[in-house]
Amino acid sequence: MEQAIERSPNGYRGNRVQAPLVDSVSCYCKVDSGLKTVAGARKFVPGSKICIQPDINPQAHKAKNPRRERTRVQPPLLPGLPDDLAIACLIRVPRVEHNKLRLVCKRWFKLLSGNFFYSLRKNLGMAEEWVYVIKRDRDGRISWHAYDPTYQLWQPLPPVPGEYSAALGFGCAVLSGCHLYLFGGKDPLKGSMRRVIFYSARTNKWHRAPDMLRKRHFFGSCVINNCLYVAGGECEGIQRTLRSAEVYDPNKNRWTFIADMSMAMVPFIGVVYDGKWFLKGLGAHREVLSEAYNPESNSWSPINDGMVSGWRNPSISMNGKLYALDCRDGCKLKVYDKSTNSWKRFIDSKVHLGSSRAVEAAALVPLNGKLCIIRNNMSISMVDVSNPDKRVESNPHLWENIANRGHFKNLFTSLWSSIAGRSGLKSHILHCQVLQA
């Protein structure tokens, strides 16, 4: 320690202890155990600030944000239970009641709107699949409803956003199992669109997504490895029929162009099979064309084999096999045999509904391990394609028609069926998808 020489008023020359060189903004409550107060430390170290340790000033660290203080102690999700046990109870509530659960309190709403809640349901095998049907009514407006196969009820949904309330030729696909996307299409007044929106089955709300790179309508679309592909279609201008294609990656939240198609096309049917995307449609001169896209090589190649030659009706790839409808009402199914490169008769329901537009099969979707057929009159058939016994006579549960069950006898569903029956040309299903939550 340095010493300083100083002359006293009476002439005495002596030594004085100089204060230690320390940071003046530090805490000095423990500089010397003999100093019982902060004031004593302040005198010993000139320029120091008062210590603000909690044991000296208990009010110094009191929270200034009452909202933050409230969040530290939250009420339990269920009174009398820890939150982990409460969540274990809530994830077992049927999906049909989830809209009511969201209204109980803010904590329940936040829980049911997040990914954690539904990830638990999915991991524990409790997630439920619903069929979502998008339909054009007789007045040209777009409406949609969800079908709960467990309780066999049609559920109401929030209205389709205005830009798609009367759109034509738009695409529809599902990403991440719970997000239903509407994209592209043609507005009756503004023409072709690049717009992309999506509905979340977890929040029961619509959201915006990045626009496509190219305006288009009446195009083809598919989902491969949870990425959304679109190709072909039409757009106003000189090059009306399009060759361009693009892909949307939800992880990167952006669109990028992929290789152009070999020929411009307006697809009217498509399916993903054996790792490739097959499309069939009309060319610029209304000739029938077929192409396949390989995402691994990012290339298109024309095809003309047995698979596309007899391929006209909706089809689906399920458990490694390709199925298609074999009649207009969808009461017969055929399967593609890769070894012989041809389609074969698969299952006949033995109960045919007719050939009118009202009962025409609009889509095939996988639902709870079975093949689901949806018709324009909102009737549904469930087919167990995994059953080795293909004879309906000996296996009545192989083909199950649920069109005439109790849930179709209420006023709402009767109205849907009557509308489809009276105006078959104006009221029909555009898209069907399955969302899990």
Shared domain check, 292 and 173: yes
User: The domain that contains 90 carries what CATH number?
Assistant: 1.20.1280.50
Determine the pLDDT at residue 114: 86
Shared domain check, 83 and 51: no
pLDDT (tens digit, 9 = 90+) per residue, 3-15? 444 444 444 444 4
Shared domain check, 183 and 291: yes
Give domain status of residue 74, yes or no. Answer: no
Closest CA to 331 of 392, 259, 387, 412: 392
Range of the domain at 20: 1-61
- The answer to whether residue 234 scores a pLDDT higher than 50 is yes
Shared domain check, 227 and 119: no
Least-confidence region, from 11-20, 62-71, 399-408: 11-20
Which of the two residues, 253 and 5, has the higher pLDDT score?
253
User: The domain that contains 214 carries what CATH number?
Assistant: 2.120.10.80
Determine the pLDDT at residue 22: 42
Shared domain check, 103 and 48: no
Last residue of a domain, one of 267, 289, 304: 304
Shared domain check, 203 and 281: yes
Last residue of a domain, one of 11, 26, 61: 61
Give domain status of residue 179, yes or no. Answer: yes
The mean pLDDT value for 366-395 works out to 90
Determine the pLDDT at residue 395: 85
CA 142 – CA 185 distance, rounded (Å): 13
Determine the pLDDT at residue 28: 40
Give domain status of residue 345, yes or no. Answer: no
Shared domain check, 214 and 276: yes
Q: What is the mean pLDDT of the chain?
A: 82
Last residue of a domain, one of 304, 339, 355: 304
Per-residue pLDDT band at 74 (split at 50, 70, 90)? confident
The mean pLDDT value for 239-259 works out to 96
Shared domain check, 164 and 288: yes
The mean pLDDT value for 212-221 works out to 97
Give domain status of residue 231, yes or no. Answer: yes
Shared domain check, 279 and 199: yes
Between helix 83-90 and helix 115-123 the angle, nearest 10°, is 70
**pTM value?**
0.79
Give domain status of residue 390, yes or no. Answer: no
Determine the pLDDT at residue 423: 41
Determine the pLDDT at residue 7: 47
Determine the pLDDT at residue 8: 45
Shared domain check, 236 and 107: no
- The answer to whether residue 289 scores a pLDDT higher than 90 is yes
Tally of structural domains, the chain: 3
Contacts with 307 (C-beta within 8 Å, 6 or more apart), sequence order = 273, 278, 322, 336, 341, 343
Least-confidence region, from 334-338, 340-344, 391-395: 391-395
Give domain status of residue 411, yes or no. Answer: no
Give domain status of residue 143, yes or no. Answer: no
Give domain status of residue 416, yes or no. Answer: no
Shared domain check, 103 and 188: no
Determine the pLDDT at residue 158: 93
- The answer to whether residue 119 scores a pLDDT higher than 50 is yes
Determine the pLDDT at residue 64: 53
Shared domain check, 176 and 297: yes
